Each structure stands twice: as C-alpha cells, then as structure tokens.
Structure 1
C-alpha cells in the first residue's frame, strides 16, 4: 500500500484559522484540507442547519413537476412512483409515495424486477401503468436516459416526471419535468444529491406549496440519510445537512421499518458507518435476492409488529446474499489465477450462473485483492450483464463510453456502473476495455493508496482533540474520517493475532512516554512480526471509540503498519 500524505496548508492560514476558532493548529489544518477557510465556513460545517437547505424551486423544472402533480391530484388521476431496486431507489420510492399518500390515496409504487426487467425505467412497468389506468409516473434514481421509454409512455397518454442524479446523455427524455442538477441548463447550487435527495427536494417543493415548514418533513430524513450513506455521495453541502438530521431521526424516532432493522442487530446508537454496513446491506438484499418491493414494503410500513416480520424476512435474504457473495468471490479469484488475469490492467470475469444480485459486491471484493478496474459478468436472459467497480482516480464510466460500440446499454458513475451486451460481443469488449484502461490509467492508480491527513504524535490525542474530531461527523466522501500517521511507535509486548484465522492484530501501543493506546488492525495479522521485541514501527490509523459492555474506550483503528525508518 502507498501512503500519501496530503499537502499541509500554508502555516499562516493554519494560524489565522486556529486563532479565529480557538482550536489547535492540527484541527485548523484538517479543516483547511476540507475547504473550510473562514469562521463562517466553520460555523456551517460544525453547526449544519436546515435553514441552509436551498430553495427547491431553484432546480430546473421543479415548478413544472409540482404543477403536474397538483393537477393529477385535482383531477383524481392515478399516480405511480417508480424507482430502482437498490437502496437509493427503494428509499426514494418509499419517501415520495408515503408523502403523497399522507394526503392523496391514488398512489401506487413500482420497483422493476432485477432479473426480468433490469435497471431503470422498464417497458413492463409502463405497461403495468397503462393496464391500471395510471396517467402519471414519477421516476426516482433513474430515467435520465430513458428517451424511448418516455416516448412509449407518451403514446399511451402517460406523463413522466423524472427525478435523477445520474449524468444525462446528449438528449433529455421528453418528460413533463426532468429534475436532475447534473443537467447542463440547471443552475441548482448543489449537484451531488442522491436520487432520494432529489425526491426530498420534490416533496419539499410540494410541502412549500401546502404551507408546510421544513420541520414538518423531518420524519422523512431517516430515508434520505440512509440513501446518502449507501450511495457514497459527497458528504458536503446539502448532503451533510440532510445526513446529520437524518441520523438524529434514525437514533431518536425512526420509521417502524428502519426501527425493525436496528432491532435485528440490537445496536443502541448508529453513526453513518453503521448505516452503511448495517441498514443499507439489508435493504439492498431484498432487491439482490428476491425483489425490491420487499424493501419498499418494509420502509413504508407503519405497524411495528408487521415491520418486524418484514425485517426478519429481509434478514434471511441478507444471510443468503452473504453466502452467495463469499462463494462467487472464491470462484472469481480462482478464474483470475487460472487465466493469468492478474497480469492485466483490468479485471474482467464471467460465469453464466453467477447470481446477478451480488456481482457488484464481488467486483468490490476482487479490487481488494487485485487493485484494478473490475467488471463481473453473468448471464441475464439472452444477454450478459455486468457490474463495474473502479479504483481511485480512474473513471470507469468514461472507459465504458469509449467501448460503447460493443455495448447494448450502460450507466452509472465514475467509480461504479452497470452494463449489458450481447454474448458474441463479450471478448471484443473485454479486449477493448483492457486497451482503454492500459492506455489511460495512471500508474499510481494500480496500487492501493492510503491518503494520510496529517502526521501527529500520540500526545496530540487529547480529550479536546477527540471532542472536536467527533464534530466532523457525519463522515463520507470529501469529508472522510481523518487518517493520521505516527512514527517511532512500540508495542509494549502484549501484541497478538486475533480472529478465527488469526487474520487481525491487537497491539498495545506507546510513543516515547505517552500513555498506551490499544490498536486494532483488521486484516493485518501477517504484519505482527514488524512489532515484536519492541521494534520501533510506524502506523497509519483512524481514532475510534470502542464500546464494550457499556464501557467506551479510545482505540486506534490501524489501516497499515511499516517498519520505522
């Protein structure tokens, strides 16, 4: 692993900000690295306020979307809320549908079948709407490229409102309204909302017309925070405000569905990492293993006992998902070794029987072993479908665009995408993708990197330092948990391997005459020798609080260790 220390801001800037905020220079430096340069920037960062959310009507077409929904309600039309089967899509559908149903009954929901219909707006979904007298479809987390689908719906006198956050193509669908801050002609001040975030701006605009305040919409923020965490969008601006207040809802008064999921794992207080690793995978498991409808049912249920029943079913899907993910990862790793795939600049693997619901997770697992842009293919009907995952600094979406002559369809982001192609085009695509990656990837992007915020001493980790660091939460992209480097460390002799396969380490670390701290290194079991016999070493780590039997203690979550130079 490469350790890269971020450039330290100018000393004069650090001193000025430290004095203005009455904080240590280490804290001021961390803030400047996050673009926080003034007292006012810091106020907004440390004290996120619902008052700082933007007017939803600044979003292009918002007035058209609200007008069309109000017309549908006035004319007693049937409305269908359509969304993708992942966390962002199912939370968005639950949010918009439950808000509309709070004052209008004629609202249906629709989640496409991952295996039968695939990602995004589907012709089958439009046919369902047509068969059921639905004249308005609101699509969430999808639709920005659904030009043919929207035209097909129009022929059947069905209007579309598209709420999406993905990059548009050259042309937009001919919908009544297209809400997407990534539109070139949209001047909305923040363009990093997730799909559920766009859905929230829609209900915020509807609520504003109905005389509701932002406080009236607080109960919906548990869904928004879950989507922000799961979709790995930047934890800045509106996302950070919505995530912070959404976490408060999750921990104080969540909807029955989320409460039932938390009830399954019996954790008292959840942070954003818990949402990513506890709530999100369970919601995702429904769409991966069975059907996304199960997630919408859970998240829209207002009877707690019924929600607990739904949650226990989803828990089974999640257990199945874990087993499949483990099994397919082993098979994919074997395939890479057998075919010498590890010598390539990209990883592209395929087996017709791999479960479509977990290939995205498997792609991420393969990157942990072979740090390369990765695609995992499986058979999907008469075509092949793949999930793509990328490495730091490489835009896999652009790479797929460069190979688009071999593809049927594709979509996604810089670091994650999905695609389909005809089976006969697989090998040509695989070769073309390898060439693109080989010719465009930077050498540094082929080695896993740990980005270090600052070098500090253990003595710098004071109660005040910890207290202020905690106020940096919630963490996420562009506001990641700070990573520190400390040199000249020793283990006091209590270091040992832990875990079933002894794959982790637990150390008791000191530096000079500092107080000792426990260090836990997941997956670092093979590096214990570096620390034995009081040999000095250096470590990169995050500062954690460990809760055990009601007691909270400080510990270092070790990301890597090396010999001291």
Structure 2
C-alpha cells in the first residue's frame, strides 16, 4: 500500500494503485525518477575515469597494445570473475591485443593470484598481468610476478585491507580514496569500465556482445540492481536475446529456456549454476572455454558436460545440506544459535557456499560451512543483512591463512588447530549482535491483490521492473482466502508443491519450489504469498503463481 504521507508527484504518471505502490517501495516518488527507472539509458553510466587508478591502468594497457606485449588476464573462478575475464580478453583482442586468459583451480590454487598462474604467464612471455574480481589483497603474489618481470594491474571490487599490493594501477570502487559515484559495481562491472575507458581512448564503441557478459556476471554476483548496474544488466539481457552467442546460447538451450524471453530469474536459477558448476566440481577453465567460444559445436559439447556436472552437483549438495541440518538439530541446545557452523571433511570445497547459503536462508542466521582433512581447512560463509560477515572476519583475521569477501558472502582458509578459536570468537560476535533475532527470515509483502490483477498489462509492467536483484527484489504479493482445489507433489522425489487454486471464480496454477514436504498443509482456504509470471508449456501460455509461503486462512478475501 502507499503510505498516507507519500508525495503526489508519482501519481502524475497515471498508473494504477498497485503499480504506483511498487515504484514507491523502490524509493521512486517522482515522474522523472520513474521514467529513468523504467527506461534506463546510457546516461546512467558514470565516467570510468572517476574510478581510482583508471588513468594509470589505461595508459599502461595502451603501451602494451602499442608494443605488442603479451597480456595475461587472471580471473576468479565464479561467474562474475569468468565473465569479467572474457570481457577483458575479448575486448583487448578486439583492439589487437595478444591475450592469455587464466582462471585458477578452486581446490588446488584457491582464490587470488596463484604461483601456478605466474608460471603459466611466464611460459607465455607475459609482461603485463591484469586481474579480474580479485587481487586487492594479493601482496606476495604481485611481488612474485614482479620478480618474474611481470607488471600487474588489479581490477577488483572487494574490500581492501590497509595495505595495498605494489601494482601499476589498482582499479577498485571500494578503495578508501574512491570518489566513484556508484558503489555497487561487480567484478565484471569493474572490468567493463576498463574496456569502456580504453575504447573511448581509441574513439571506438564498446562491442555490444560484451554487455551480455556484463549482465550475466552482475546478476550472478547479486550486484545492487540500481543505477549503473540496472542499465548494464538490462541492456545485456536485450543483447542476449538479439545476438548469436554460441556459449551462452548453448546454455539457454540446455536449460530449456526461450532465448527471446530470457530473464534475470532464468539466469539466476538456470544459467549461472551451470557456469559455476565447473569450478565447483572440476575446473572453471571449462566454463571459460565455453564463454570464449565462437563455435556452436564446441559450445554444445561443453554445455552437455556442464549439464552432467550440474545434475551431479545437485545430488551432492542436497545430501550435504541434509547432513548440515542434522548437525544443527543434534546440538544439545534447542535454541537456534546466533551463528550456524557445519562441516564434513568429505564435502567438496566447491559446494560449501551453497551449503552455507541454504542454512542461512532457512534459519535467517549467518552460516559457515567447512571441509578438508589435511592441516588446512577451507570454509565459505554466507550472511544476513543484520550481520556484516567480512567485518566480523576482520576482527579475528589472525587465525586465517587467507580470507576475503563481502558483507553477505566470504571465504577463508584456516589451520585446523585454529578452528575452535575461530568458532568461539565468531559465536561471541554473533551472540552480541543477533542474540534477540527471531528464527526465520521476514517475507516482505509488497501489496495485497487478487490474482486476477495479473493480466497482460500488469505483467508487462512487472517485466519493465526487471532485471530483479538486490535493491529491486521480485515483487511478492499476498492474497487471502484462496481455495485449494488440487494439491500434489512434483519433481524428482516430490520436492515441489503443485496447486490449483480458486479465487473469486478464477482458477490459477501455482507452484511452490522445495515445498513438497508441506503437502498436508495445502488444504482448504489459504492465505498465500507469491510472485506472478507466465508459464510457457507446449506452445501455450498461462498465468502461474510461484508460492513463497502460505498459511491457513482465518477470513474471507479482502484483496483489492
């Protein structure tokens, strides 16, 4: 609903109540802001030279291009790092650069510049190394590269420490002296700004296909979907629908999506997991080859391999999450702890973030998942808005071999003898900050409606709100007094809940993902919280409600 104190400026758009409320909830209260949000333009892009280190970065890259130097690109192994690596590699090659991209093995090399990568670049006679989505804490590695005659440019968006590596340039919006007007750039977004600045220098337009890669990486890293990120992601999605890109197209086909209807949700739940799985279970170089590929046959073969790995990953992850839940339930205290710790020496390091993320989501607590059987253990941490994970890790950084991350996600390597001390320190911090926090996250309802509000016109408006993400969440609606006509489980193992519901004489299909265990609750009249969209099946389309939560209804519908 619109608060009584809302300004009237946005009403001038002539939009209905629900649409007006959705914009207001996003901090949009004027006609100008509404038009800018719904139709973002290139004016949203900030001057790349406002980023610290950009001038020195571009100058050194120009010199490398002029002298035909061999340029190494080192990127992180997740989708943000991979897409950023491809953006820099392809962008520089379009300018005539001799480029050698490299991504590390998650287990054997870990995050950040590795000694193995430096050996690779030495073999390729690289004289300039550019990092993507990492490097701002790689002090020793940058020095090691320097000893090998390799200069380094760091492009990163992670929070730096007090000390910075001895690099030619550090392009990072998170640096303390940064005056960049947007603090939400991702790793691929920062790499794109380098290409944007470089192409400006040569008075050339940035190739359109790069925007599709920027959209993919920005959405994968849950970049704040406002301002510059919103424009980049939206333009990238449009480019993705229009241009032939063998690597991405093969994944879209394998996931069963329609290319001309690809959405941010499709990327988040269908495409990005397939890209990430190579680094989780084998080597991210497989996904790098896919994104770099211009050959349809090669892309299809790699996409088939990623499909196999992703199915394997799903089975392994579900088993591990179940084990982690059992560990939590077996604790002597019946109260959910302020921070959740789980571990198993056999869990693959590549799925630790997924385990921690699921626990954090289910219990609304920061969570840490650990694995490894040697002297050194690997861990991933996921958090909630009330708890800044990277700041908490900094308070006990002496126990780590290395660590890094964001307020909501982080990772570290730790000696096994320090694990108990780490757990005690982090538990103490969490108890102090979260001691009174209730279990379970709060579901934000944007508006109470009848499902009948969902029609071609309103769904077009919801499409205009895309791409969704941090700062622009998918709208969740509520309807009371919905009558369940049919309820059953679907999917492998009956994981999902499929409903047919009736409201004011209208029938709707509804799906509740990972809610198959609630089948017995889905009877009679319910109040439902859901998102709305179109389901395409066998050439037909129908409105489908995606259930976020439901409860028994105590009253008849009062929806507008």
Shift of 1:415: 1.3
Question: What pairs up with 1:259-338 in 2 under 5 angstroms?
Answer: 259-268=249-258, 269-338=261-330
Cα 1:261–1:529 change in 2 (3 A) is: closer
Partner of residue 548, structure 1? 537
* Larger deviation, residues 461-470 vs 337-346: 337-346
Partner Cα separation in structure 2 for residue 64 and residue 381 of structure 1: 42
Task: Choose from 477, 480, 487 the match for 1:484.
Answer: 477
CA distance 1:445–1:68, change in 2 (3 Å): farther
CA contact (8 A) 1:15 1:25 kept: no
Q: Greater CA deviation, 359-368 or 466-475?
A: 359-368
| Pairing partner for 2:139 from 135, 147, 167 | 147
* Structure 1 residue 558, shift from structure 2 partner: 1.5
Q: In the comparison of the two structures, how many residue pairs are matched? A: 551
Q: For the residues of structure 2 that align with 1:318 and 1:522, how far apart are their CA atoms? A: 18
1:4 alignment partner in structure 2: none
| 2:373 counterpart of 1:355 | no
Q: Which residue of 2 aligns with 1:5?
A: none
- Which of 518, 523, 526 does residue 509 from structure 2 map onto? 518
Change (3 A) 1:521 1:193: same
Residue 235 of structure 1: which of 222, 225, 228 is its match? 225
Shift of 1:369: 4.5
Deviation of the 1:365 alpha carbon: 2.7
1:153-209 Cα deviation digits (max 9, x unpaired): 233332111111111111222211111111121111212111011111111111111
Q: Distance in 2 between matches of 1:455 and 1:465?
A: 14
SS in 2 for 1:93: helix
Which position in structure 2 is the counterpart of 1:179?
171
| The one of 112, 121, 133 aligned to 2:125 | 133
Give the aligned partner of residue 223 of structure 1: 213
Retained in 2: the 8 A contact 1:150–1:173?
Answer: yes
Residues 505/259 of structure 1: CA separation in 2 closer, same or farther (3 Å cut): closer
Distance of 1:69 and 1:528 partners within structure 2: 59
Instruction: State the TM-score, normalizing by the size of structure 2.
Output: 0.92
**Aligned equivalent of 1:403:** 396
Give the secondary-structure state (helix, strand or coil) at the position aligned to 1:428: helix
Per-residue deviation at 1:14?
A: 5.5
Please tell me whether the aligned partners of residues 486 and 501 of structure 2 are also in contact (alpha carbons under 8 angstroms).
no
1:506 counterpart residue number: 498
What is the distance in 1 between the residues matched to 2:155 and 2:447? Answer: 40
- Per mean C-alpha deviation after superposition, the further-off stretch among 289-298 and 520-529 is 520-529
Are residue 454 (structure 1) and residue 447 (structure 2) matched? yes
Please name the residue that 1:375 is paired with.
Answer: 368
- Any conservation in 2 of the 1:458–1:486 contact (CA below 8 Å)? yes
Q: CA RMSD in A?
A: 2.2
1:497: Cα distance to partner? 4.5
C-alpha spacing 1:22/1:252, structure 2 compared with 1 (3 Å): same
What stretches of structure 2 of length at least 5 have no aligned partner?
Answer: 555-560
Q: 1:407 to 1:207 in 2, by over 3 A?
A: same
In the aligned structure 2, how far is the partner of 1:30 from the partner of 1:24?
10
**Which SS does the other structure have where 1:80 is aligned?**
strand
TM-score normalised by length of structure 1: 0.92
Are 1:385 and 1:421, in contact at CA under 8 Å, matched by a contact in 2?
Answer: yes
Q: Give 1:388's aligned residue.
A: 381
For 1:501 and 1:289, how far apart are their aligned partners in 2? 23
1:539 maps to which residue?
A: 528
Q: 67, 72, 78: which is aligned to 1:86?
A: 78
Q: Work out the CA distance in 1 between the residues paired with 2:185 and 2:407.
A: 15
How far off is 1:135 after superposition?
1.4
1-side partners of 2:375 and 2:96: how far apart? 41
Please say if residues 452 and 483 of structure 1, whose CA atoms lie closer than 8 Å, have aligned partners that are also in contact: yes
Q: Deviations over 1:430-488 (max 9, x none)?
A: 12221211111163363222111122344544543332222111111110111112223
1:341 and 1:347 in contact (8 A); partners too? no
Q: Against the structure 1 CA distance between its residues 334 and 524, is the aligned structure 2 distance closer, same or farther, given a 3 Å change threshold?
A: closer
Whether the 8 Å CA contact 1:165–1:195 is kept in 2: the answer is yes
Q: Quick one: distance in 2 between partners of 1:253 and 1:380?
A: 47
Distance 1:222 1:559 in 2: 29
429, 436, 455: which one pairs with 1:436? 429
Distance 2:93 2:490 in 1: 51
1:221: Cα distance to partner?
A: 1.3
CA distance in 2, matches of 1:545, 1:246: 22
What does residue 560 of structure 1 align with? 549
* Residues 524/257 of structure 1: CA separation in 2 closer, same or farther (3 Å cut): closer
